[in-house]
Amino acid sequence: MTLNWNIEVIFDFAIAFAGLICTIITYLPPKTQKITSLNFIRLSIFGMFIFMFFDGLAFLFVNNFIARLTGLMLIPTTLCIIIGVNYTIRETYYSKGFVLVFGLSILFLFVSLQPNATIPSTESGYLRIEWVGLFNIFGILFTAIAVLYMFYWGIKTWLNAPILIKKEASLFFTGISITTILGLVFYFMYLFESFYILISNLLILIGVIIFMVAILKEPKLLYILPFTVHRILVKDREGAPLYDHDWVESNITETIFTGFLNAVQLMSQEVMDIGGLLDINLEEGILIMRESKFVTVGLVATKSSKLLRESVIKFTRDFEEKFERELKKSIKDTSQYKDAYDLIVKHFSNFPYKIVKSKKQPLLLTGKYVKIPLELETKLRSVFTDEEEYEAIKTELIKSPLSMPTEFINLYNDLKHEIDQLSGEDVKYLNSNQSNEE
């Protein structure tokens, strides 16, 4: 039997091979491998590998049956990418798009069983199997749907990627754009001139390679979620804040936020037992509260998600385990719970950090790490005996004009001298003055 080797077969196998590598790559590096959306997207990439492999085989053996199977591979590929995107956006497989494609799949299946759905023909100087009639139309339609969903996923990922991996996200998006949009454009052009299928295949191959490079550089790109987590706060059963972490800039102090959680907790005591989880819809987001034996954890995000709820449950469990000794002793010193950051990394590493919006955005080192002249440091330390207060002032010091420390010390000495010099009568007078403020 003579094999029908031609350039399109070579391209098909090359893309299929790249698709296989791509599937393996998306499986190996991610830390959080059990993300449902990623599983379906991975299946879709694997479907593309099978599709291209079967396409190559169909041409190689000039086999109509394999050609029809190739077309039908578009059904699981398209459905998987739709489910993957649906899970990413709203954590359910179901959407109108899914129902529509599912319905069309039955028609596509029926059409594939009709005679003359595929025929051998010679185009661009070599023998290939051509899809014809309704089978061809359905093939194009399913390809277009899969491509547009893939592109949508790419653009969502790119837009939501945190600034630190924006460069890789751009590479990732470039790869997806070349594979999907450019590939699709030339695929449409192929309808008029068969030569363009080779360019389409070449672009798909290049795009997949770029996509793989981006994933290898930054595996997190595969599970960036299109919503923002604002803040998590852990408080003890008496209402004292123990740990606070922000993903976005917030003007609400830890104390106010704790007070808010306490109020919500008080109001929802009847529905929230120990071990319970509560979702409270806010105007522009959601508050997830988890109550356990020693602590209550509150998390604010732009929308609720199963993944997020599971992360809160696991975080709460680990927090109690890690700080069991401190919690049993009712220690309220927040510095004792600083290591909870490791749990943030463990459970929330796939939620983008959005405080810094640009790589050029000015930053400052917090007080603890700012170096100031020894003489000034000695003076400031004599004024600010509390370490936290001292660090807060040092943080401000670096943002202040150069003359600020000297002027501050002068004012401090003046006012201190004034208070020391006030006579008993003066103090009485001031107290009377003060009583009128109250």
Partner 1 sequence: MKTQIKAKSLGLDHPSVKKVIGIAEEIMSQNKVLSIETLYNRAKKRLKFPKNGLLSIIQLLLDKKILIEGSKFSKGTILKNQCRKRLYNFIMNYPGVHFSILRKRVLCDDLGNVGSSGQLIWHLEMLLRFNSIKKTKVGNYTIFIPFDMDEEVGKQCFLIRDNINKKILNLLINQNSIKKSDVYKLINEKREIVYYRLKNLMEQELILPLKESDKEILINSAKRDSILEVLEKSKDK
Is the CB of residue 141 less than 8 Å from the CB of residue 104? yes
In the chain the first and final C-alpha atoms are separated, in Å, by 102
Report, in angstroms and rounded to the nearest whole number, the Rg of the chain calculated over CA atoms.
31
Choose which of 238, 273, 284, 386 interacts with partner 1 (CB under 8 A): 386
Work out the number of other CB atoms within 10 angstroms of the CB of residue 227.
17
Is the CB of residue 82 less than 8 Å from the CB of residue 100? no
Is the CB of residue 13 less than 8 Å from the CB of residue 56? yes
Choose which of 121, 274, 368, 387 interacts with partner 1 (CB under 8 A): 368
Is the CB of residue 213 less than 8 Å from the CB of residue 175? yes
Where is 20: in which H helix or E strand? helix 7-27
Contact characters 25-64, partner 1, x per CB under 8 A: ----------------------------------------
Closer to partner 1 by Cβ: residue 42 or 379: 379
H/E/C letters for each residue in 383-425?
HCCCHHHHHHHHHHHCCCCCCHHHHHHHHHHHHHHHHHHCCHH
Q: How far is the CB of 267 from partner 1 (least distance, A)?
A: 20
Choose which of 359, 374, 375, 420 interacts with partner 1 (CB under 8 A): 359
358 phi and psi angles, rounded to 5 deg: -150, 150
- Tell whether residue 341 is a contact of partner 1 (CB under 8 A): yes
- Per the listing, tokens 């005679």 go with 115
C-alpha–C-alpha distance, residues 36 and 80, integer Å: 11
- Tell whether residue 253 is a contact of partner 1 (CB under 8 A): yes
Choose which of 1, 362, 374, 378 interacts with partner 1 (CB under 8 A): 362
Here the tokens at position 315 are: 């975080």
Q: How far is the CB of 256 from partner 1 (least distance, A)?
A: 7
Contact characters 123-162, partner 1, x per CB under 8 A: ----------------------------------------
Please count the residues of this chain forming the interface with partner 1, following the rule CB under 8 A: 66
- Tell whether residue 420 is a contact of partner 1 (CB under 8 A): no
Positions touching partner 1 (CB under 8 A) are 163-165, 217-218, 245, 249, 251, 253, 255-256, 259, 341, 344-345, 353, 355-356, 359-366, 368-371, 383-386, 389, 393, 395-396, 398-401, 403-404, 407-408, 411-412, 414-416, 418-419, 421-423, 425-426, 429-430, 432-434, 436-438
